[in-house]
């Protein structure tokens, strides 16, 4: 907010009345390449990328004046006194007092020894002009208004809070009136007989369980066999998720996407209000405050579910943190999800309730992500009713995660420990009933390896302080599929279920225990099936419903990981995607890259199981195992996966695609699975360490024949070869199916995925791939040559010899004057045309398809019309001149955060200045291969030389200057000016205007900032960035000589900073330039001794 309201007096460096104050947010007004309001939003949202080490932000002003207009603060080297206090605040030692504006230094906080500023002047410099600021508020509001509703609400709220603080320093927090008001409204609508706030205590749990025993909902199991455990039988029509009646209600249907059921939120809310009116008559309304994730985790989220089902209350107690301990944390500042649930079956006065009330003909599970809220009606089963689970922890959380920069995924989380004691944490996304819980709790068959469970179903993932991906389990229990769970398939789960558990729709044994198919080889005699009928093996029915469930506390799992409730989460080194395929997909495949891994996750196909609606055994596309759980357009979700790589450092997890379910001709599973899956996990860990053997295939990296540890299993070499083979013909048939799946999303599918599909098809058709040279670059240079018609074309080499040659050429042509070699070695003076001396902001354009994307602070032109105009100007513009092709790199050549460009120009002055200001030439050209994106920059002085005519020392076309940016291509075209940032297109044009648009898309920052390093007398280093408008002292500050004893300042850069989140979660900055292009007047040994020393040689003036 502080940066967005910067106002600054204009200087000669910008057009306008010198001395007038204009709003220059972040000092980026002339340089932001897109709508300034969206730029504000990029700043607001950037906080989500940073850990606890996010930089502190300060607002400085060296230029306060007294009544005679003299600066009060001495400035220059004395600014180090302010920087010292900044460093002390970073360390938490600097003294400060809270004010309506922010924290100001206390009277004794700044080191003022040795300066003439009086105590009264210091008090003035550090005072708050309340009256003046209250007058400033409407001006800021007026400035914001020009951007319409694109201004982030955080900034308008900050402005309102500033006004409130200025008017009064007192602020008394209220209790959560919003929560109380909502509960009151729901009570009035649903009309329950009673309202009860869930406390989450063991006593409440026991009371409600006993209540359900008496009501016939629960059957208490044998206390000796299953202490404190219960069997529940649902209505036969209410046994699983109801995907057909699950809705995402967004204003724009496309935001929900084709894989979700959509309804208009206004119309759906009307329908639901009609259903909920009086729906709880005769019942108790339970209000359940709940927390998804550990109570002490900054990554946890809060919710409140209102329900008329005691079954929901007791299951929610197991599945998450609920009750009074949560309610205490939901104060007025705490966002919470409003969840409303009803079984949809009011009890008439005097009527007897049924054991499992529901309304199977009128079920609605409805999500309103824009509010956000969840309304569920008619079902009492599982995820339909436990709204903290799939509804919140996946559907709603996925929309939150996209906005806030994290991930909510349908993933187990497990920890592995090698025999040497090294720990690995892995997340794995499989569709429901595809073995997530079994894998999360497996007992390894590989000697010496241990597995610990963090979670079996859902993972919330964020970038940690060290730049790695971390995951928390937002749940505190397991809601697992019972059939198939056994001592063989999941011994740990069976041990977890020995007590304190709820079983739904399983069979009851004569001795009061539970049973389901797969628990034992033979069924006990005398079973009562899940419908309450006697059961025998030959009756033709299942004893337990195929989607029968257990609810059990995670804390009693024998292999629960010691870090499962770590508030920071656990560090993830590998991500597994998979599904249930009888063929086609190999046992395990490692992705070539993050984007390739995202592509693999996006094309998951899996056989349907009883956990979802549909024909059991049919294969459906279930990307990332999130098809039923993604709360927004699946194509946008793909994009969030693609872009998430930008948030991670070099420790981004490797991605793998697994399939435990390949079958032989008789339909028998080839791979033994269960504990033997540890053999695959061992290889995954070896690949993470860089030691596992693999071979490249069209699908990705597959284990070599000897890579997997197969000692002790019966799988034959031929079967292993089959499990690890590539079915080329089958995959070529799969390609059109994937393309058809992508097509339903239209142009919202990330281009990276469609390209990955094309590359997969190409690799399948032929394993040979011969990379071409950069044909795009060569073609573009050829087209520009044909249009501009230069006499010669020359590719800049960037060598010192070339620099000397071009400087001598300009000396002979009158452009340069060689300075005294003894006073200024290898330095030159240049005099420009008097009409070409500064940036031409009025002729600087941002050309976007949508005018609003450029915003009101930029000059906009239609890109098609502007391109036509420019082509007309550039035709023949270089006649009689040399076209220089300058490959350049903004930033160090070895930095992953640098960017490439190629400038075509007809100015030798541009070539030699570009050599100073950035890395250019052959060494750069070698790095621009066919895969390397580069910015196309076209520049001309706009003054062709007629045959036989003599050139002028400074050619330009001052009456026809155009500096035009096309951020959607991207490219820059500049015509008519040879001066500074108008011609050196790597500088403001690329490094700020175009780079700012790239940074917004890619999740970094391109800012008009100096970068300086400070070292305290104790040797501690600090790095600071500072954004000031041009000619406001950036270079002076970047190179200042401190007056505070013992402090040192080092300059990283004086004008532009490109900032990214490092591997440790902190903000890092690079200087994309390699030189200084500074304002000379005012620079002196007093104001900037370091700059004066820098200018002693090898400089152009």
Active site residues: 434
* Buried/exposed 771-805: b ≥16 CB within 10 Å, e otherwise: eeebeebeebbeebbebbbbeebeebbbeeebbee
Nearest-angstrom CA–CA distance, 703 and 590: 9
Nearest-angstrom CA–CA distance, 872 and 787: 9
Rounded to the nearest 5°, which phi and psi values hold at 1099? Answer: -130, 155
Residues, the chain: 1101
With 0-12 CB in 10 A as exposed, 13-18 as middle and 19+ as buried, what is 48?
Answer: middle
Residue 830: which H helix or E strand, with range? strand 828-830
- The number of C-alpha atoms within 13 Å of 378 and in the hemisphere containing its C-beta is 17
The candidate with the shortest Cα–Cα distance to 496, out of 552, 428, 565, 541, is 552
Residue 209: C-alpha distances to residues 216, 270, 313, 343 (Å): 11, 35, 10, 18
Q: Which token pair is 338?
A: 């409003």
* 342 and 190 Cβ atoms separated by less than 8 Å: yes
Nearest-angstrom CA–CA distance, 883 and 790: 6
Nearest-angstrom CA–CA distance, 642 and 175: 41
Q: Which residues contact 253 (CB under 8 A, 6 or more apart)?
A: 262
According to DSSP, residue 950 is labeled P
* 121 and 99 Cβ atoms separated by less than 8 Å: no
For the beta carbon of residue 275, count every other beta carbon within 10 angstroms: 16
Nearest-angstrom CA–CA distance, 175 and 172: 10
Question: From the centroid of its chain, how far is CA 127?
Answer: 39
Tokens 């729709």, residue located? 505
Cα dihedral sign, 157-161-167-172: positive
* 1034 and 1046 Cβ atoms separated by less than 8 Å: no
Nearest-angstrom CA–CA distance, 468 and 465: 7
State the alpha helices, DSSP H only, in 989-1060: 995-1002, 1034-1038
Residue 288: which H helix or E strand, with range? strand 284-292
The candidate with the shortest Cα–Cα distance to 580, out of 698, 432, 445, is 432
Nearest-angstrom CA–CA distance, 942 and 976: 5
Nearest-angstrom CA–CA distance, 602 and 430: 12
Residue 169: C-alpha distances to residues 2, 130, 154, 771 (Å): 19, 11, 20, 66
Q: Which token pair is 653?
A: 């997890």
* 1009 and 45 Cβ atoms separated by less than 8 Å: no
Nearest-angstrom CA–CA distance, 810 and 808: 5
DSSP letters, 754-781, are HHHHHHHHHHHH-S---PPP-HHHHHHH
Q: Which residues contact 665 (CB under 8 A, 6 or more apart)?
A: none
For the beta carbon of residue 697, count every other beta carbon within 10 angstroms: 17
Q: Which token pair is 683?
A: 């290889």
Secondary structure in 3-state letters for 735-755: HHHHHHHHHCCHHHCCHHHHH
* 360 and 378 Cβ atoms separated by less than 8 Å: yes
* Buried/exposed 650-673: b ≥16 CB within 10 Å, e otherwise: eebbbbbbbbbbbeeeeeeebbeb
The candidate with the shortest Cα–Cα distance to 792, out of 664, 879, 716, 724, is 879
């Amino acid at each position: 907010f502080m940066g967005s309201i910067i106002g600054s007096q204009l200087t000669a460096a910008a057009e306008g009345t010198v001395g007038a104050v204009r709003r220059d947010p972040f000092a980026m007004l002339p340089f932001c390449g897109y709508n300034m309001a969206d730029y504000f939003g990029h700043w607001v949202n950037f906080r989500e990328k940073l850990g606890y080490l996010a930089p502190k932000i300060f607002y400085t002003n060296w230029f306060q004046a007294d009544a005679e207009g003299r600066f009060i603060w001495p400035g220059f080297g004395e600014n180090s006194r302010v920087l010292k206090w900044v460093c002390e605040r970073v360390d938490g030692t600097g003294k400060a007092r809270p004010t309506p504006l922010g924290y100001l230094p206390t009277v004794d906080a700044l080191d003022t020894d040795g300066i003439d500023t009086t105590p009264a002047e210091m008090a003035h410099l550090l005072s708050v002009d309340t009256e003046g600021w209250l007058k400033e508020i409407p001006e800021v509001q007026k400035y914001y208004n020009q951007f319409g509703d694109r201004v982030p609400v955080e900034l308008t709220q900050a402005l309102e809070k500033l006004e409130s603080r200025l008017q009064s320093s007192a602020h008394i927090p209220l209790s959560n009136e919003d929560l109380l008001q909502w509960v009151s409204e729901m009570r009035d609508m649903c009309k329950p007989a009673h309202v009860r706030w869930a406390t989450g205590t063991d006593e409440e749990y026991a009371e409600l369980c006993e209540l359900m025993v008496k009501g016939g909902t629960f059957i208490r199991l044998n206390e000796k066999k299953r202490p404190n455990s219960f069997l529940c039988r649902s209505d036969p029509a209410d046994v699983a998720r109801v995907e057909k009646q699950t809705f995402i209600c967004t204003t724009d249907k496309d935001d929900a996407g084709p894989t979700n059921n959509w309804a208009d939120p206004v119309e759906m809310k009307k329908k639901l209000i009609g259903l909920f009116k009086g729906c709880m008559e005769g019942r108790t309304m339970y209000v359940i405050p709940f927390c998804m994730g550990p109570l002490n985790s900054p990554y946890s989220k809060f919710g409140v579910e209102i329900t008329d089902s005691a079954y929901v209350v007791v299951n929610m107690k197991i599945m998450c943190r609920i009750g009074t301990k949560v309610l205490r944390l939901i104060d007025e500042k705490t966002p919470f999800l409003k969840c409303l649930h009803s079984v949809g079956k009011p009890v008439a006065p005097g009527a007897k309730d049924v054991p499992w009330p529901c309304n199977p003909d009128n079920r609605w599970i409805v999500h309103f992500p824009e509010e956000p809220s969840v309304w569920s009606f008619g079902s009492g089963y599982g995820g339909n009713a436990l709204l903290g689970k799939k509804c919140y922890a996946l559907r709603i959380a996925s929309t939150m995660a996209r906005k806030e920069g994290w991930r909510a995924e349908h993933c187990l989380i497990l920890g592995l420990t090698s025999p040497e004691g090294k720990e690995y944490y892995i997340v794995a996304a499989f569709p429901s009933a595809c073995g997530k819980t079994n894998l999360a709790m497996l007992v390894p068959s590989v000697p010496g390896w241990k597995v610990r469970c963090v979670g079996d179903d859902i993972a919330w993932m964020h970038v940690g302080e060290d730049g790695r991906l971390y995951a928390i389990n937002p749940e505190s229990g397991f809601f697992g599929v019972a059939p198939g769970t056994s001592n063989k398939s999941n011994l740990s789960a069976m041990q977890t279920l020995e007590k304190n558990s709820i079983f739904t729709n399983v069979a009851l044994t004569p001795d009061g225990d539970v049973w389901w198919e797969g628990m034992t080889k033979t069924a006990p005699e005398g079973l009562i099936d899940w419908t309450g009928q006697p059961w025998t093996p030959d009756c033709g029915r299942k004893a337990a419903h195929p989607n029968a469930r257990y609810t059990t506390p995670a804390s009693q799992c024998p292999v629960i990981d010691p870090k499962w409730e770590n508030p920071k989460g656990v560090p993830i080194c590998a991500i597994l995607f998979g599904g249930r395929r009888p063929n086609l997909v190999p046992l395990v495949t490692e992705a070539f890259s993050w984007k390739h891994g995202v592509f693999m996750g996006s094309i998951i196909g899996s056989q349907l199981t009883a956990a979802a609606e549909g024909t059991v055994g049919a294969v459906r596309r279930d990307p990332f195992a999130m098809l039923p759980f993604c709360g927004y357009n699946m194509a946008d979700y793909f994009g969030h996966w693609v872009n998430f790589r930008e948030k991670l450092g070099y420790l981004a997890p490797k991605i793998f695609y697994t399939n435990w379910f390949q079958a032989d001709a008789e339909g028998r599973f080839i791979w033994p699975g269960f504990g033997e899956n540890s053999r695959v996990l061992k290889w995954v860990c070896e690949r993470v360490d860089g030691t596992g053997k693999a071979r490249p295939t069209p699908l990705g990296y597959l284990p070599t024949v000897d890579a997997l540890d197969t000692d002790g299993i019966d799988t034959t070499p031929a079967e292993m070869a089959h499990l690890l083979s590539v079915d080329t013909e089958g995959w070529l048939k799969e390609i059109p199916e994937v393309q058809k799946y992508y097509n339903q999303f239209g142009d919202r599918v990330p281009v990276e995925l469609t390209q990955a599909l094309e590359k997969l098809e190409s690799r399948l058709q032929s394993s040979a791939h011969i990379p071409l040279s950069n044909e795009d670059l060569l073609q573009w240079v050829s087209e520009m040559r044909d249009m501009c018609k230069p006499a010669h074309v020359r590719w800049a080499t960037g060598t010192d010899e070339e620099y000397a040659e071009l400087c001598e050429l300009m000396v002979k042509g009158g452009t340069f004057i060689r300075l005294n070699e003894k006073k200024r070695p290898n330095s030159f003076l240049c005099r420009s045309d008097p009409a070409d001396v500064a940036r031409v902001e009025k002729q600087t354009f941002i050309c976007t398809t949508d005018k609003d994307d450029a915003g009101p602070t930029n000059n906009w032109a239609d890109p098609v019309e502007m391109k036509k105009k420019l082509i007309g100007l550039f035709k023949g513009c270089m006649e009689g001149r040399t076209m220089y092709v300058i490959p350049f790199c903004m930033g160090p050549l070895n930095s992953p955060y640098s960017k490439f460009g190629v400038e075509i120009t007809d100015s030798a002055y541009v070539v030699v200045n570009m050599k100073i200001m950035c890395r250019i030439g052959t060494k750069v050209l070698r790095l621009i291969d066919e895969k390397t994106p580069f910015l196309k920059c076209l520049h001309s002085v706009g003054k062709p030389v007629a045959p036989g005519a003599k050139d002028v020392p400074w050619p330009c076309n001052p009456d026809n200057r155009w500096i035009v940016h096309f951020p959607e291509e991207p490219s820059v075209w500049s015509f008519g000016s040879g001066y500074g940032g108008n011609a050196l297109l790597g500088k403001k044009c690329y490094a700020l205007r175009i780079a700012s648009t790239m940074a917004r898309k890619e999740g970094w920052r391109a800012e008009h900032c100096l970068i300086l390093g400070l070292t305290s007398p104790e040797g501690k280093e600090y790095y600071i960035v500072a954004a000031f408008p041009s000619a406001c002292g950036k270079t002076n500050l970047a190179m200042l000589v401190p007056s505070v004893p013992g402090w040192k300042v080092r300059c990283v850069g004086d004008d532009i900073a490109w900032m990214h989140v490092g591997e440790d979660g902190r903000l890092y900055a690079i200087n994309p330039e390699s030189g200084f292009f500074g304002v000379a007047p005012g620079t002196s040994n007093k104001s900037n001794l370091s700059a004066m020393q820098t200018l002693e040689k090898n400089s152009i003036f």
